[in-house]
Structure 1
Amino acid sequence: MTAQRTARLTALLALPAAITLGAATPSLAHSGSQAGNEKAGSAYQIDLTELNNSGAHGTAMLSVDGTQLTVKIEAHGLVPGQPHAQHIHGDTTGKDFHCPDASADKNGDGIITTAEGIPSYGNIHISLTTKGDTSMKSGLAVDRMPVADKDGNLSYTRTITVPQATADHVKDLHIVQHGIDPNHNGSYDFGKGKSELDPKLPQEATAPTDCGMVKGAAVGSMPSGGVETGSGSTNGVESPVMLASGGAALLAAGLLYAGRRKLRPTETSEDD
């Protein structure tokens, strides 16, 4: 199944990547050869593996063409009919972030929360919304996040204009999806308590469900200096406090929206 997903996504990305590589200018090739940078026109695979015993898994492909980043995700085992916030996390300045392991569950309650996961996987670098803004401010804009179908499958495609630093350091980034259903009742409820982002929201709605790093990226030690907080466009970062104040209302609206009407999986191909 994983091989089929990978083959499908690779085929979709292979042609534009090959054209870009063939037409690359000497200056672009030189830029891509610098230490720590990745050549524009490359494609990278990410295997998404479950967090919080969610059963979620999938494959993502990141394709770079200049400052155009195309993200394609095929995920399975998600909470059916529910919106799933998803982001590209990491850093483009050399800090080492990676997917968390069980040790991230600091309070031992069996759930790695968003706050517990951030020290490992870093703050939001890009919000993978279906349309509109992709900055950290849209981290919980669940009304613009993709929705899993009735079988828990999710397909997502979008091309986003990113800063040059992001295009140069795609291999240092990774993807996290959110939304779990530990009691298997098909919805987000308070079975695992309140979200640390906003006590009015269930933990299930904001906890990470899977995570994946670009293949070949090193899993190393924790970065020194911790997680920074800043602002900007796609290269901004967030904190749990910012999520609570800036995104809680959006998440609540998204959950209400999901409960009032039947939602279909959303797929958007181009940046608005």
Structure 2
Amino acid sequence: MVKRAGRRLAVIATVPAAVFLTLGLSGAALAEGGKAYQIDLAELNDSGSRGTVMLSLKGNQLTVQIESEGMVPGQPSAQHLHGSTKGHDFHCPDASDDKNRDGILNNTEATVDYGDINISLTTTGDTKATSGLAVERMPVADKQGKVSYERTITVGQDVVEHIKDLHVVQHGIDRNNNDKYDFEGAGKSELDPKLPQEATAPTNCGEVKGAAVGSIPVGGIETGGGTAQSAAMPIVMVAGVAVVVYAVTAGAIAVGRKRVAVLPGRTQTPGGAA
């Protein structure tokens, strides 16, 4: 499981029936009529990278929180929301998209599946698609290869209406295992010959498969290079905090002295009916 830092993603309970994540910021957004969506990032290019993303939407203010690991230590990680706000069906790629069979899924090959950049998840400055390769404004992994990111962005109504059609992709691999991006690992990037391919190849991807308060988890999805993930992550409020429920089965979890029963098809609150 990915380690969560600070208040961003703190695990408060781990039991066979369910795993809960608390996200104070998302809880505030939901309490004021916002929506929140969970994303699990699965590795691409055998990178070993994985992570968790939370998207909190209040009006046209989108807060993006990312905690990932297995990134290249000390190197910037270009990251974006990919996909379409025009109804096109995009999804995370897998190894079969490596059309030239060189053993590396490059960004051009993967874009066929996950679509063009919609929002560049930079740390400062603009978040336009044209900033997709602004590596100097992208988050840098720490010495353990972990990336922690949080930023609130003003988005257009098209993003608000189609947020579940977008996905998060992080970039940056270390093909020759020397803890840096270089041209020896995989040659030049097809996007910019001044950059190594290692710097622009996707390292993980996750689809926005969340749901607002009251939704029920259904089915499963496949993310690129990963295993089946929950197709909908319902979010409920417990003591004013947003709680994401994974793999829900019949049963009850005690929170403090109150009990919250989560049953297939309904949510029971303390002292009240479904």
TM-score by length of 2: 0.69
Is 1:19 equivalent to 2:31 in the alignment?
yes
What is the match of residue 261 of structure 1? none
Q: Indicate how the Cα distance of structure 1 residues 156 and 3 shifts in structure 2: closer, same or farther if over 3 A, else same.
A: closer
What is the match of residue 169 of structure 1? 162
Q: Percent identity?
A: 65
What is the match of residue 177 of structure 2? 184
After TM superposition, list the pairs within 5 Å mapping 1:64-103 onto structure 2.
64-103=57-96
Gaps spanning 5+ residues in structure 1: where?
22-40, 221-272
Q: What is the root-mean-square deviation in Å for CA atoms of aligned residues?
A: 2.0
Whole-Å Cα distance in 2 between the matches of residues 129 and 16 of structure 1? Answer: 24
CA drift at 1:216: 5.3
Is 1:145 equivalent to 2:138 in the alignment?
yes
Q: The residue matched to 1:82 in structure 2 has which SS? A: coil
**Could you report, residue by residue, the CA deviation over 1:197-234 in whole angstroms, capped at 9, with x for unpaired residues?**
122321101101100001259969xxxxxxxxxxxxxx
Query: Please, which of 182, 204, 207 is the counterpart of residue 210 of structure 1?
Result: 204
**Could you report, residue by residue, the CA deviation over 1:162-210 in whole angstroms, capped at 9, with x for unpaired residues?**
0011012111110000010021101111221211112232110110110
Q: Is the 8 A contact 2:60 2:156 kept in 1?
A: yes
Could you say which structure has the higher strand fraction? 2
Query: Please, which of 106, 115, 139 is the counterpart of residue 122 of structure 1?
Result: 115
Q: Is the 8 A contact 1:181 1:188 kept in 2?
A: yes
Deviating beyond 6 angstroms after TM superposition, the runs of 4 or more aligned structure 1 residues are 217-220
Whole-Å Cα distance in 1 between the matches of residues 161 and 125 of structure 2? Answer: 23
Could you say which structure has the higher helix fraction? 1
**Could you report, residue by residue, the CA deviation over 1:29-71 in whole angstroms, capped at 9, with x for unpaired residues?**
xxxxxxxxxxxx1100000011000011000000000000000
What is the match of residue 272 of structure 2? none
CA drift at 1:2: 4.3
Whole-Å Cα distance in 2 between the matches of residues 4 and 65 of structure 1? Answer: 23
Q: Indicate how the Cα distance of structure 1 residues 117 and 45 shifts in structure 2: closer, same or farther if over 3 A, else same.
A: same
Query: Please, which of 39, 49, 59 is the counterpart of residue 56 of structure 1?
Result: 49
CA drift at 1:10: 3.6
Bigger Cα Rg: 2
Gaps spanning 5+ residues in structure 2: where?
12-20, 212-219, 223-274
**Could you report, residue by residue, the CA deviation over 1:118-141 in whole angstroms, capped at 9, with x for unpaired residues?**
110000000000011000111011
